[in-house]
């Protein structure tokens, strides 16, 4: 028997490898998509979390065949093209490997297509998800319908929200060393250490800081935005499931950074309305002592240790529509 027929032709090897690769890839992709995919973090509590899970699963479905291909090739080569076998042609590095133009071109074309396709996919996902829960700065280009109206009304103190109204709910996240607090401008501007959100509602997080740089990270909501002093960083998401989540600071911000976390809750719209109205009433005395609601706050020149007040030089909310040159006093 000739060495070639004993080892099989190059064409046979390639066909065999491709068939095994396709079968393994399809099986593993299906197993991952249906068994593992639905449980991949961060879950499906919000649209951005759901989108993020979908994106991750797509990456895995594309990545698994690549992983399978590499390992299969390695295993196949170790078994079939073992140098200890008799009558083997010259191993890796021989003339056939150096001049295999088909293999080189295939590798470049396939990896280029995969990377470019993922870039397009990522860009579409970013746009479709209104920024995918990341901070877009004070002038968000990508925002859900009704966000501009709700944010502008919130600043003017004329905002409203009610169950089943489909209105965007602005929530201000105020970071300071070492705690997040939350203001609800639609409900009289009360401030609370609790982050409570209604389900099935588009939320506009307006994130700022009173001292150093922090980062608001609501992991299960798939929202993450840096909290910078005298800067309003806006991020959007829509709640879709009831449940608990956790907020953490993800920017090393000092001695108690590790303790800068708090739980949060997504509750029904009617329960949220009850909670917000009740807290607005309970906190009314303290709310009167708070500075007027503003996107950012600056220190009062007369305040020895603090005394923060609205930034007089307002940052416009939108690049296309400017609220005004000054915030309400």
Partner 1 sequence: MSKGGRLATVLGLFLVVVGLVVWAVASLLNPGVPGGVVNFTNAQAAGQPVQLNVQTVGSIGFGAHPTWVSYLVKDPKSGKWIHATSWELPAHTVVDMTIDQYDSGSPLRNQEWGQVLGTIGSTATLNGTSFSVYNSNTGNGVGHTFAIPTLNISVPLVGVSGNPCGAAPCHFNSPHNVETFSFKTPGAGSYNWQCFVPCALGYLFGNGGAMSTQNYMGGELEVVNS
Considering only CA atoms, which of 168, 199, 209, 164 is closest in space to residue 186? 168
Q: Based on CB atoms, which residue is closest to partner 1, 46 or 172?
A: 172
The single residue among 60, 126, 212, 213 that binds partner 1, judged by CB under 8 A, is 212
Q: Based on CB atoms, which residue is closest to partner 1, 72 or 251?
A: 251
3 state SS of 310: strand
Distances (CA, A) of 209 to 72, 84, 253, 279: 52, 67, 11, 23
Rule CB under 8 A: say whether 303 interacts with partner 1: yes
Q: Based on CB atoms, which residue is closest to partner 1, 126 or 212?
A: 212
Least distance CB 182 / partner 1 (angstroms): 10
| Strand pairing report for 190-192 and 179-184 | antiparallel
Burial 166-180 (b: 16+ CB within 10 A, else e): ebbbbbbbbbbbbeb
Rule CB under 8 A: say whether 255 interacts with partner 1: yes
The single residue among 57, 200, 250, 262 that binds partner 1, judged by CB under 8 A, is 262
Subset of residues 177 to 206 that bind partner 1, contact rule: CB under 8 A: 177-179, 181, 191-194
Look up residue 171 and give its two tokens: 């929530």
Least distance CB 286 / partner 1 (angstroms): 5
Radius of gyration of the chain (CA): 28
Rule CB under 8 A: say whether 283 interacts with partner 1: yes
CA dist 19 and 36 (Å) reads 25
Rule CB under 8 A: say whether 254 interacts with partner 1: yes
Look up residue 123 and give its two tokens: 């860009």
Beta strands in the chain (DSSP E): 169-176, 179-184, 190-192, 195-198, 202-209, 214-218, 223-227, 233-238, 243-249, 261-267, 297-299, 308-310
The single residue among 40, 213, 273, 290 that binds partner 1, judged by CB under 8 A, is 290
Least distance CB 210 / partner 1 (angstroms): 6
Q: Based on CB atoms, which residue is closest to partner 1, 184 or 236?
A: 184
Rule CB under 8 A: say whether 83 interacts with partner 1: no
Count the residues of the shown chain that bind partner 1, applying the rule CB under 8 A.
Answer: 35
Q: Which stretch binds partner 1 (CB under 8 A): 3-11, 40-48, 80-88, 255-263?
A: 255-263
Rule CB under 8 A: say whether 248 interacts with partner 1: no
Subset of residues 109 to 138 that bind partner 1, contact rule: CB under 8 A: none
The DSSP result for 238-285, as a single string, is: EB-S-EEEEEEE-S--STTGGG-EEEEEEE-HHHHHHHHHHHHHHTHH
Look up residue 161 and give its two tokens: 């929200």
Binding site for partner 1 (CB under 8 A): 174, 176-179, 181, 191-194, 210-212, 254-256, 259-262, 283, 285-286, 289-291, 299-300, 302-308
């Amino acid at each position: 028997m000739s060495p070639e027929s004993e080892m099989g032709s190059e064409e046979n090897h390639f066909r065999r490898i491709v068939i095994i690769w396709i079968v393994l890839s399809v099986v593993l992709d299906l197993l991952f998509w249906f068994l593992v995919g639905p449980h991949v973090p961060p879950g499906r509590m919000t649209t951005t979390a759901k989108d993020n899970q979908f994106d991750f699963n797509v990456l895995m479905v594309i990545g698994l065949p690549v992983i399978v291909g590499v390992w299969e090739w390695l295993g196949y080569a170790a078994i079939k093209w073992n140098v200890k076998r008799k009558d083997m042609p010259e191993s890796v590095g021989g003339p056939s490997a150096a001049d295999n133009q088909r293999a080189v071109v295939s590798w470049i074309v396939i990896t280029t297509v995969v990377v470019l396709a993922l870039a397009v996919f990522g860009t579409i996902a970013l746009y479709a998800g209104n920024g995918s829960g990341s901070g877009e700065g004070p002038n968000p280009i990508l925002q859900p319908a009704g966000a501009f109206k709700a944010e502008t009304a919130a600043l003017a103190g004329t905002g409203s929200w009610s169950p089943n109204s489909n209105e965007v709910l602005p929530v201000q996240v105020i970071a300071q060393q070492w705690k997040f607090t939350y203001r609800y401008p639609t409900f009289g501007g009360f401030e609370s250490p609790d982050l409570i959100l209604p389900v099935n509602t588009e939320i506009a997080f307006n994130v700022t800081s009173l001292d150093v740089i922090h980062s608001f990270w609501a992991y299960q909501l798939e929202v993450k935005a840096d909290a910078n002093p005298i800067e309003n960083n806006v991020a959007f998401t829509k709640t879709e499931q009831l449940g608990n989540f956790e907020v953490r600071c993800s920017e090393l911000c000092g001695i108690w950074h590790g303790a800068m976390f708090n739980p949060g809750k997504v509750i029904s719209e009617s329960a949220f309305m009850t909670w917000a109205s009740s807290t607005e009433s309970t906190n009314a005395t303290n709310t009167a002592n708070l500075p007027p609601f503003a996107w950012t706050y600056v220190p009062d020149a007369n305040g020895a240790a603090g005394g923060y007040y609205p930034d007089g030089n307002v940052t416009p909310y939108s690049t296309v529509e400017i609220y005004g040159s000054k915030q309400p006093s």
